[in-house]
Amino acid sequence: MAKLRAGVLISGRGSNLQALIEAAADPAYPAEIVLVISNRAEAQGLQRAAEAGIPHEVIAEPDRTAFAAATDAALRRHRAELVALAGFMRLLDTGFVKAWRDRMINIHPSLLPSFPGLHPQHQALAAGARFSGCTVHFVRPATDSGPIIAQAVVPVHDDDDEERLAARILAQEHRLYPLALRLYAEGRLRIDGKRVIVAGSKPPEIAALNPAP
């Protein structure tokens, strides 16, 4: 069976890209990364792509519409079927988002719909949240919106700062993103309004408490 062809957009170190690369190295994994695009030439993730033998490009076009056109053309040249945003720190053109509707996913370090946008760890700490985590969702024109595919939860510790909380969340991002991509590639996701129905899945029965009783 042919594997899903995924293009990945990055802006920085590419740790989530690395998690996807490692997952895709398993012959049984149902997706492959066919292209990595960065809007920043200095992005460390480009080196990760190079080391994995994955085609990679820098598209640093400052105009949003021109960037969208060049990125769309590159993805189509490589016959990408899905776009995965992995630490991609640029707002996308609305037309691009619509063109890839239901074929573009993103990972965000909070339990959406709570704390969208920048500095979600700071937002969680400032709000006194007992739990935080990460979310993989389909992309829509509004920032960090769209039907939620999967989430991972981490506790917030009383002595947390942004750095410690971010590190705890990031470890779960590296587990969650390959899972979400697998579910998509296996054809197990169905969008029903604002919800995503995952075929063959069963939610865990464990309830998390913080503080522990």
pLDDT confidence of residue 37? 98
Cα separation of 78 and 71, whole Å?
Answer: 11
The ranges assigned to domains in the chain are 1-100, 108-201
Residues of the chain with pLDDT under 50: none
Scanning the structure block, which residue is given the tokens 């410690």? 164
pLDDT confidence of residue 102? 98
Residues annotated catalytic, as ranges: 108
Look up the pTM and report it: 0.97
Which tens digit of pLDDT belongs to each residue from 133-158? Answer: 999 999 999 999 999 999 999 999 99
Looking at domain 108-201, does it have CATH number 3.40.50.170?
yes
pLDDT confidence of residue 212? 87
pLDDT confidence of residue 207? 86
- Other C-beta atoms closer than 10 Å to the C-beta of 98 total 10
Same CATH topology for 1-100 and 108-201: the answer is: yes
Pick the CATH number of 1-100 from 3.40.50.1820, 3.30.470.20, 3.40.50.1970, 3.40.50.170: 3.40.50.170
Cα separation of 45 and 38, whole Å?
Answer: 8
How would you classify the pairing of strands 82-85 and 104-108?
A: parallel
Which tens digit of pLDDT belongs to each residue from 180-208? Answer: 999 999 999 999 999 999 999 988 888 88
Cα separation of 168 and 113, whole Å?
Answer: 19
State both tokens at 194: 């604002």
pLDDT confidence of residue 16? 98
- The overall longest dimension of the chain from CA atoms, in Å, is 55
Contact predicate 150/180, CB 8 Å: yes
pLDDT confidence of residue 85? 98
